[in-house]
Amino acid sequence: MQQIQELIQSGQIETAIREAESMLAQLPASGFQQVIGKDLLHLQAPLTAYFNHSWTYMTDEEELEIKALYLEMNSFTTHFDRWFLHLLAYESIANRENLDWLQDFSGESEKTLTITGFEPLQETNKRYMETEGFRDDQLREACELHEYLVILRVQELAKHTVAAAKGKAPWAEVPLYVAAHDYEDMLYVVK
């Protein structure tokens, strides 16, 4: 898994996705394999609208001078009912080496964006936790790889969304950090 984290930190999201999918495909069949080949790119327009709304709210209503953003997925492994994204803003550039800065946000979006398209995975997560699937080593490894892939697909979505908005939206001009709650070691920076 260290190899996937290194790929993320070096910005190689597509390679990390291929690597994680390959590893997951080699494990015994489980509900977690359904993430293979599934992306979240259908959410690009809603994410763009979410960024636009959040940026306007935080710069106009909260009067922030935003220097960086952090798009965080909720604690999805234990919250099965709704997976969502939440945007935090920072008025100073963060130090990637020391992740304590994540707690010191200057503002946050008043709304969240629900992730759609992965509902069957949410059910698989729920069954896994309720049946204590983590007691099976191979199932636990499949779950961990699926977690990586869910986060990687959120990062891929953010990367595509920012690329499409470069030169058109102010939020696309500041660094965007992307991870999931409690997965800060997988932090990806979209520039």
pLDDT digits (tens, 9 = 90+) for 141-175: 999 999 999 999 999 999 999 999 999 999 999 99
> Would you say residue 103 has pLDDT above 90?
no
Give the β-pairing of 68-73 and 176-180. Answer: parallel
Q: Count CB atoms within 10 A of the CB of residue 71.
A: 27
**Strand, helix or coil at 32?**
helix
**Cα(first)–Cα(last) distance of the chain, in Å?**
24
> Would you say residue 97 has pLDDT above 70?
no
Q: Which of 93, 106, 104 is nearest to 63 (CA)?
A: 106
What's the whole-model pTM score?
Answer: 0.94
Pairwise CA distance, residues 31 & 127, whole Å: 10
**Can you give the pLDDT at residue 134?**
86
Pairwise CA distance, residues 94 & 5, whole Å: 19
Per cent of the chain over pLDDT 70 is 97
> Would you say residue 100 has pLDDT above 80?
no
**Can you give the pLDDT at residue 177?**
94
**Strand, helix or coil at 156?**
helix
> Would you say residue 19 has pLDDT above 90?
yes
| Higher-confidence position of 93 and 116 | 116
* Amino acid identity at 25: A
116-154 burial, b at 16+ Cβ within 10 Å, e below that, comes to: eebeebbebbeebeeeebeeeeebebbbbbbbbbbbbbb
**Can you give the pLDDT at residue 95?**
64
Give 110-149 pLDDT, tens digit per residue.
Answer: 999 999 999 999 999 999 989 988 899 999 999 999 999 9
Most confident of 13-17, 80-84, 124-128: 13-17
**Can you give the pLDDT at residue 189?**
92
What residues contact residue 12 under an 8 Å CB cut-off, 6+ apart?
Answer: none
Pairwise CA distance, residues 147 & 161, whole Å: 21
